[in-house]
C-alpha cells in the first residue's frame, strides 16, 4: 500500500506542479462500526506527515512514539499502544531472561543518554547501544 500511495503522490506532483499530496492511513479494520477509530488514527497519521519532512505516506501502525505524541486527548488506546510498542520487548525478556524493558526505562530516565544509561545499569555503553534497537523491533 505504501508503494502505491507514494507513487500516486509523485505522479500527482508531476501532473500538478506545486501540489504536495500525502496520505495518513489507519490500522486495518474488519468492523465497519470502527470507522470513527480508523478516522482518528488516519488523522493522527496525516499529522505525522508534517512532522517528518518529505514523507508522503504515514501508516498509523508504524508511528511508534510519534503516534503517542501526536494523538489528541482521549484519542489513543494507551493499553494497545503499550502492547504494540513495548510488548515485543516484554515477550522477549520473559522468553530469554533479558532486561530490554529495564534498559529502555533507564534510557528514558537518563534523558536518552546511552552513556548515562550504561553508568546506571553498570554495563558497557555498547551493551546499551545493542539493546535499544532490540526494544524497537
Tell me the pLDDT tens digit for each residue of 79-97.
777 787 788 889 999 999 9
Question: What pLDDT band is residue 118 in, cutting at 50, 70 and 90?
Answer: very high
Q: If we measure between CA atoms, which residue out of 106, 97, 100 comes closest to residue 88?
A: 100
Give the chain as a 3 state SS string: CHHHHHHHHHHHHHHCCCCCCCEEECCCCCCHHHHHHHHHHHHHHHHHHHHCCCCCEEEHHHCCHHHHHHCCCCCCCHHHHHHHHHHHHHHHHHHHCCCHHHHHHHHHHCCCCHHHHHHHHCCCHHHHHHHHHHHHC
Q: Residue 23 forms beta bridges with which residues? A: 57
- pTM for this predicted structure: 0.58
- What's the grid cell of residue 43? 488523522
Q: pLDDT tens-digit profile of 32-67? A: 898 988 998 898 888 888 755 677 899 988 887 788
Q: Report the sign of the C-alpha dihedral through residues 14, 54, 73, 88, in that order.
A: positive
Amino acid at each position: 500500500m505504501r508503494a502505491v500511495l507514494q507513487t500516486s503522490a509523485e505522479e500527482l506532483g508531476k501532473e500538478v506542479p506545486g501540489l504536495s499530496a500525502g496520505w495518513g492511513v489507519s490500522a486495518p479494520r474488519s468492523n465497519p462500526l470502527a470507522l470513527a477509530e480508523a478516522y482518528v488514527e488516519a488523522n493522527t497519521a496525516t499529522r505525522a506527515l508534517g512532522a517528518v519532512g518529505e514523507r508522503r505516506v504515514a501508516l498509523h501502525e508504524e508511528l511508534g512514539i510519534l503516534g503517542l505524541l501526536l494523538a489528541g486527548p482521549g484519542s489513543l488506546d494507551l493499553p494497545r499502544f503499550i502492547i504494540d510498542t513495548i510488548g515485543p520487548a516484554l515477550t522477549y525478556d520473559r522468553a530469554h531472561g533479558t532486561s530490554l524493558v529495564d534498559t529502555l526505562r533507564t534510557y528514558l530516565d537518563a534523558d536518552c543518554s546511552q552513556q548515562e544509561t550504561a553508568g546506571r545499569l553498570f554495563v558497557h555503553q555498547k551493551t546499551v547501544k545493542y539493546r535499544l534497537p532490540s526494544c524497537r523491533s
